[in-house]
Structure 1
Amino acid sequence: MSIQSMNYFKALAEKEKGNAAYKAKKFEEALSHYGKAIELDPNNIIYYTNKAAVYFEQGRYDLCIETCQKAVDVGRENQADYKLIAKPLARIGNAYLKQDDLDNALLFLNKSMSEFRDSTVIKKTHEVQKLIKEKELRAYINPELALEEKQKGNSFFTQGKFPQAIAAYTESLKRNPEDAKVFSNRSACYAKLMEFPLALRDADECIKIDPTFVKGYLRKATCHLAMKETSKAEQAYQKALEFDPKCQEAIDGYRKCAMSESPEDVRNRAMNDPEVQSILGDPAMRMILEQMQKEPAALKEHLQNPAIASKIQKLIESGLIALR
């Protein structure tokens, strides 16, 4: 057997010892075995890749990157399979990611995919792209500039220049995406331009940021009314009244919705209410309601029972029954 062949098998044996040490997390021992494998067979990309894996686990990312680059060079010089070259390139990308160098991470992950499109690397690439986008958005945030754009938007709105106001409010939200009032203001602009789905989207976003912001529910109700979704508008007005019982716009809007609903709409809305369903599903309550139809005077007696009175009041509020 030639010296070259002997070294080949000796290198394989060192690699196996290195793999066993790696699995046992005996990293210095693994490095020693992989180093010996490289000395015996310096043209095998796998040994460099394995050595780089140890450096990665140790958090020695600069050495990991350096060793992976050597692996790529050795692989290209010896016409290694594309998959073998792709692996150290991906590891370089992951090492840069650990160092929060997102641009280089993406660069080398893309290089890896140009050699071989591994599903794990594809997923990691998408994650890094998302991180880069989030980082760019965070870097763009500036509350002071957001306020300036908000004020510009308010000025344009007052002048009736709604597209310009939308542009200013949009820029404001890029600078401060957590300002519920700006979403509310942009919703109003879209409503003025009859873009009700967009106005509704902003109203929902406004409420998501601040669930107690009454104006957000008023914007939402306005959109639903314009889209002829009366029951949804009524629900939005109800939510507004939960947070501000004296809000005149919500009071007037709720009354308008109630008056415009057909009996069928009222019934459908009521029947979708779990509490109403529970009341009507109670055999005792059904008997009481039947008795009230036949003997209206029986109502006074039933109202003496607080539990029954509460259920009757719920049915009155839902519009299912009316007292004369």
Structure 2
Amino acid sequence: MKKVLFLLIAFLLSLPIVAQTYVQLSEKALEYVNKDSLEKAEIFFRKALKLEPANPHNALLFSNLGTIQRRMHRFNDAIESYTYALNMVPNASSILSNRASIYLEQGDNDRAYVDYCQILDVDKNNKEALLMRAYIYSVRKDYKAARIDYNKLLQENPVNYSARLGLATLNQREGRYREAIEIIEKLIAENPNDATLYVARGGVEKEMNQTDLALIDADEAIRLAPASVDAYLLRGELFLLQNRKYLARLDFEKAIALGVPQADLRDALKQCR
């Protein structure tokens, strides 16, 4: 009996090991993604890529790999993965958009701009690319180019929220305060509970030296969204303008408690002494 058992074990060990296929490895990776086990998902994506490095579906695997790396805040790795994917499918808008958004998060507006332009070369009406390119133009102070992109968005959809708010911000930066206020007030009429809009109008009113009106908007924004960092920052700045330093300090400290790095408000806190 022992001899038979030994022979059976020897036979089983002599059989070839059935390796997981490319598809099985990919599906296993996706299972782990759905379970939010991102590190395990990465392992299986890499196994699939290593198993068939020339598989045309690797563009999708690299894209998925980039996305989970981004979720793990490994932004440089994510950019590398998206780049590998784009080497295979250079005009994939979704992958270009994902890479561009990371570039923006890292403050690399120039590379993001290139990606958004590439998207628009293929899809001239891509909403996200137009919106983000307009933002980059605005940061560069190329207001004419930014206005063109915002207007193109509004031609396609006259009630586009982001484009209208972007255009209002652009008007503010160009000193066209009345036009900015008009746009924001129409948005508020449509979205009366949107704290962001009250902060936006308060910011314009602040630049127009209408401090009392701006304070009303800041108060309303905080009432609607008690965790609005921008609202506390705006109200703190307004209190400083009124020399109400104690109240300003309270608002800046609240902003810090909500996540603003203290170093970013060092100068403002000094003015509160």
Compute the TM-score of the two structures, normalised by the length of structure 2: 0.40
Compute the TM-score of the two structures, normalised by the length of structure 1: 0.34
Q: Which has the larger radius of gyration?
A: 1
